[in-house]
Amino acid sequence: MAIDFGVEPEFQAQIDWIEEFVTQEIEPLDIFVADGRDVSGEPLDRAGWRAVKAHIRTLQERVKEQGLWGFHLGPELGGPGLGQVKLCLLNEILGRTRLGPTIFGCAAPDTGNMELLAHNATDEQKKKYLEPALAGELRSAYVMTEPHAGEPGEFKCSAVRDGDEWVLNGEKWFASNAVRADFLIVMAITDPDKPLLERASMFIVERNLPGVEVVRNVHTFGTPLSDNFVIDGQRGGHAYLRFNDVRLPADALLGEEGSGFVGSQTRLSGGRIHHAMRAVGTCKKALDMACERALSRRAKGERLADKQMVQAELADSYIQLKQFRLHVLYTAWLIDTTGSYTREIRKEIAAVKITAAKVNHDIVYRAIHLHGSLGMSNETALGDMWMSAPFMGVMDGSTESHKENLAKLLLREYEPCDDLFPTYHLPKLQQEAREKIGKVIEQYGAA
């Protein structure tokens, strides 16, 4: 019997360690950092924030001692090589937290960038960028989306060869963590006349090169607009970048010239399923909160938990979460089994990416609604969790574009029927069945 939902005791011990570490260390730190005030209620000063960063480094060391740093990486890159199924079980614990991925060395966008470098970089590039990035010493950003378009066919930012150099010009949008990054991985058009999949290349661009301009550090809703104009590298954000005649050495090219769009699929496929894994954790947290609230709150003489409509909502959330989690685990198992992003796997990744947004939306909404006014207040984590639903539906490709891809991949498994009526048209099937079973009956009759 090959299907087994259990895990071996050694891995269960690692899950238990992470569970406790997250509860004891990371969840309180998340709350503290979001609040940003010290024990007397005063805003943290620079020295306070430096101490927080030092504390994060200490926690990262504890993770390294457990052999869990960069747990998404294979042994060839210094990770434990757990495989995707085990990654699901760990990522869903980290999905409850904000700082968890940073403390475990598996935060986006660095994780996807490391995968890109591992697959495409030359030995020199690996030494210069990948190795320090793996050690947590360099930070990176992935720079693909443009202000006027999120879709490769519309991109304009270009790199033109000039002697031994490339000259980069154009604008990029929503590059997460770019203001804090040491280097950027930039997608640029290198030959607009080639077929779409060969038009772009990727470049490693050091952030402090002349001509790299941060127009604004854009934040998501909930942050004051004025913060978009503060570019101090202290906080995250999604940069609006402009490249003004940035001169890159020839060896800034990452992978083959023209391989940018195809290469980016490796990065994005891995990143998409990791988002889905963490969404399992977010949804589980929302359901836990809803259940506790339902058991604790009373209305019209009984607990919310005793009301059939509330029970139905909780049951719906539970079923959606279980189905989603199993689908994510199945997709992870497929990747582990085949070891690459085949067409079948890309179809499942598109499916879980689409579901992640829907499930996140539905389960968190129900939890918020069940909490009434408290749910809409800023006194629970639900508001933050609610924001992840629209993010999930857009980042790494919109739900619609994934549905389009999924449908195309699905349809490749079928053939059109040239007949006037479809292959499953009952009159035709009845006639075939009569002929087939008729022969059997004849045989029985003859016996």
Ligand X SMILES: Cc1cc2nc3c(=O)[nH]c(=O)nc-3n(C[C@H](O)[C@H](O)[C@H](O)COP(=O)(O)OP(=O)(O)OC[C@H]3O[C@@H](n4cnc5c(N)ncnc54)[C@H](O)[C@@H]3O)c2cc1C
- Contacts with ligand X by CB under 6 A lie at 109, 142-145, 149-151, 174-176, 238, 391, 394-398, 400-401, 404
Give min distance, CB of 180 to ligand X, in A: 12
- Please tell me whether residue 239 adopts helix, strand or coil conformation: strand
Specify whether the CB–CB gap between 249 and 164 falls below 8 A.
Answer: yes
Residue nearest ligand X by beta-carbon distance: 150
**Run of H or E residues at 430:** helix 426-446
Give min distance, CB of 116 to ligand X, in A: 12
Give min distance, CB of 178 to ligand X, in A: 7
Comparison of 59 and 354: residue with beta carbon closer to ligand X: 354
Comparison of 149 and 315: residue with beta carbon closer to ligand X: 149
From residue 302, alpha-carbon distances to 295, 297, 306, 375, 394 in Å are 10, 8, 6, 20, 41
Comparison of 175 and 179: residue with beta carbon closer to ligand X: 175
| Distance from C-alpha of 27 to C-alpha of 99, rounded to nearest angstrom | 8
Non-local (6+) Cβ contacts of 258 within 8 A are 190, 191, 194, 198, 199, 200, 201
Give min distance, CB of 108 to ligand X, in A: 8
Specify whether the CB–CB gap between 150 and 202 falls below 8 A.
Answer: no
Of 135, 138, 154, 137, nearest in space to 146 by CA: 154
Per-position DSSP letters for 262-318, written without gaps between them: HHHHHHHHHHHHHHHHHHHHHHHHHHHHHHHHHHH-EETTEEGGGSHHHHHHHHHHH
Comparison of 304 and 395: residue with beta carbon closer to ligand X: 395
Give min distance, CB of 425 to ligand X, in A: 32
Comparison of 400 and 432: residue with beta carbon closer to ligand X: 400
In this structure, are strands 183-189 and 140-143 parallel, antiparallel, or unpaired? parallel
Comparison of 303 and 361: residue with beta carbon closer to ligand X: 361
Comparison of 109 and 281: residue with beta carbon closer to ligand X: 109
Give min distance, CB of 216 to ligand X, in A: 15
Give min distance, CB of 350 to ligand X, in A: 12
Comparison of 145 and 331: residue with beta carbon closer to ligand X: 145
Q: How far is C-alpha 111 from the chain's CA centre?
A: 10
Give min distance, CB of 239 to ligand X, in A: 9
The residue whose two tokens read 């790199």 is 159
Comparison of 362 and 396: residue with beta carbon closer to ligand X: 396
DSSP state of 424: T
Of 119, 167, 179, 101, nearest in space to 143 by CA: 179
- Please tell me whether residue 224 adopts helix, strand or coil conformation: coil
Give min distance, CB of 272 to ligand X, in A: 11
The pair of structure tokens assigned to 109 is 């966008």
